[in-house]
Structure 1
Amino acid sequence: MALPALPPNGRLIDISTHKLALYTHGPEPSSPDETVILFVSGVASDALNWQAVVGQLSPSLRSYTYDRSGYRNSESSPLAPTAEHIALELSLLIEEASISHPLILVGHSWAGVLLHEFIALKGTAQIAGLVLVDANHETAPLVVDVNDPILWSIAAGVDVYSAWGLETNHKLTPEEWNEFIAGESTEKYRLIAHKEDVEQYAPSFETLRKKELGKKQPLLGDKPVFVIGGIRSRDWNGLYQAGIAKGNGTEEERKYVRDLIAGIDEKMAKLMKEFSKLSTKSELVFATESGHFVQMTQPEVVVDGVQWVLDNQPA
């Protein structure tokens, strides 16, 4: 199947095994020391979910988004989409695209794991700071099951983006939203999303924990880390209410999910606080009007995080 036409700011980067689509936003840096921003998407996501953030960044900043292997304009990889392989391909993308400037890495959801694998592979020399957007901590599955079978049984048949409020509260343009939805309706998307979400997502946490990066804190020294937590109960309550409206679940199952929702935000907040250990200079905020997809519903919070990292560079 032919790939869609690349937008004017896009180019295909050959990483030797295949090509990845990289999108450039903002002007060429004025010096080799100028910091640039690179956005890394979560599981089953491509570059489009960062559009609202990119649109609100200072026009003087250079930033990059990209489609991981198998998504949208990128070719499929010969490697399985493990977190380790994704980190390797990210490092090759940075190298082959000649992105040599200091990097602020901005990662959503599973990118919490992906960026840690990138650090395990490449170290932190090029990293100027991190912005973690409701990111997955390596210990998350030990604390909460985001794929809880009873929760998703209650939510059977529910339009997830509608139930989460994402459909009405996102800050994309109508054209961007339509492109986002259209991309997720393709067979190409379904194939790579299944490989990531069903086959590789869960094992990636244990693989990362075995590297014991948590014993090497602060991994980034005094390089700034901005941590953003979403309010997961918003998403789960939306799923619950939509499922109940369909008549899903026994009363016992419904009570179980209500109890699950009642405790989720406290558990997630503790996980977000764990990320503060990454640096001696960190900040934690909660996007109180958002669920998991903060970058789409409160992009200004992510933009503020990028600016905070820029403003708090080591002397």
Structure 2
Amino acid sequence: MKEEMLVQISDFKLYAKLIGEKNGKCTVVMDAGYGDFSKAWDSVIGEISMLSQVMIYDRAGLGNSEKSSNPRTSREMVKELKKLLIDAKIQPPYILVGHSFGGVNMRMFATEYQNEVCGLVLIDSTPEDYKERFLPTMSKEFQVAYNKQFVYEGNYDEFMESLKQLKETKLLLNVPLIVLTAGKKAHYSKESQQLWNEMQRDMLEISTAGELVIAEKSAHYIQNDEPELIVSAIKKLIDNI
């Protein structure tokens, strides 16, 4: 089954696609990284849709979605996603999957609507203390390039506001969590890679049932470098329901 839709959210429409058959257990909801949209999941969507129904979507202003007049912060994006799920009649429970900045959104969604979530997969997700703890360890060139990338959706300040919002959210309780972290980032020194892995491991503390998987052969886009790790993480959560 494949169904595409444009759903009205206040003054704009969000594009979403439903793929696969509902197995009665859950719907997998996937959120891409900063500036990315639903095509970011092309490498894994076929296999995941064999396991369960999957919803991928484009955040406002990206892909096939219209621009939103709301602030481009995680809090607003979570509200927009919630309305999309309600209006598209996609019932909980959900397994949430977030890559990079999408992981920030999915963590916030999971804490906001914990009783609707039966699993969370964070794929090289941005840690809430990225600015304070990680950025200062990188070269000036890296920091300049990092700051300049915020032109696709939301600016640098809105992105940092999202990380601040994440710090203010309450901890997860009983939602099973799998953290997948990229173990082979070309522009990271050995020390930076160790720090990154450590910060990813720290994310396990938001759940009573967390597991860390280091994707040794992957750069930031684990879904492209080692797609089987993402499929197996989602399968594990589905099997545990």
Same fold (TM over 0.5): yes
After TM superposition, give the deviation of residue 263 of structure 1 in Å. Answer: 1.1
1:74-108 CA-partner distances (Å, limit 9, x unpaired) = 01101121111111111111111111131000001
Relative distance call for 1:114 and 1:143 in structure 2 (3 A) is: same
Q: Corresponding residue for 1:205?
A: 163
Residue 124 of structure 1 pairs with residue 114 of structure 2 = yes
Deviating above 4 A after TM superposition, structure 1's stretches of 4 or more consecutive aligned residues are: 146-149
1:283 aligned partner: 211
The reply on whether 1:141 has 2:131 as its aligned counterpart is yes
- Distance of 2:51 and 2:190 partners within structure 1: 43
Q: 1:144 to 1:98 in 2, by over 3 A?
A: same
Match of 1:15 in 2: 9
Distance 1:42 1:229, change over 3 A: same
Counterpart mapping for 1:71-220 below 5 A: 71-120=62-111, 122-145=112-135, 148=138, 150-152=140-142, 193=152, 195-209=153-167, 211=168, 213=170, 216=171, 219-220=172-173
Q: Which runs of 5+ in 1 are unaligned?
A: 1-7, 156-189, 238-260
Check the 8 A contact 2:180/2:213 in 1, yes or no.
yes
Partner of 1:59: 50
Superposed displacement of residue 117, structure 1: 2.6
**Equivalent position to 1:228, from 180, 183, 190:** 180
Deviation at 1:10, TM superposition (A): 1.6
Query: Could you tell which deviates more after superposition, 109-118 or 143-152?
Result: 143-152
Superimposed CA distance per residue, residues 140-169 of structure 1 (whole angstroms, 9 cap, x where no aligned partner): 2221118956233898xxxxxxxxxxxxxx
Task: Give the TM-score normalised by the residue count of structure 2.
Answer: 0.89
Distance 1:39 1:60 in 2: 14
Higher-Rg member (1/2): 1
Instruction: State how far apart, in whole Å, the 2-side matches of 1:268 and 1:17 are.
Output: 39
Superposed, 1:22-61 pairs within 5 Å as: 22-27=16-21, 29-31=22-24, 34-57=25-48, 59-61=50-52
Query: Which protein is richer in strand relative to its size?
Result: 2
- Taking only aligned residues, the RMSD between alpha carbons, in angstroms, comes to 2.5
Aligned position for 1:307: 235
Distance 1:91 1:58, change over 3 A: closer
The Cα offsets for residues 32-64 of structure 1, whole Å up to 9 and x where unpaired, read as: xx2110101111110101111112225242101
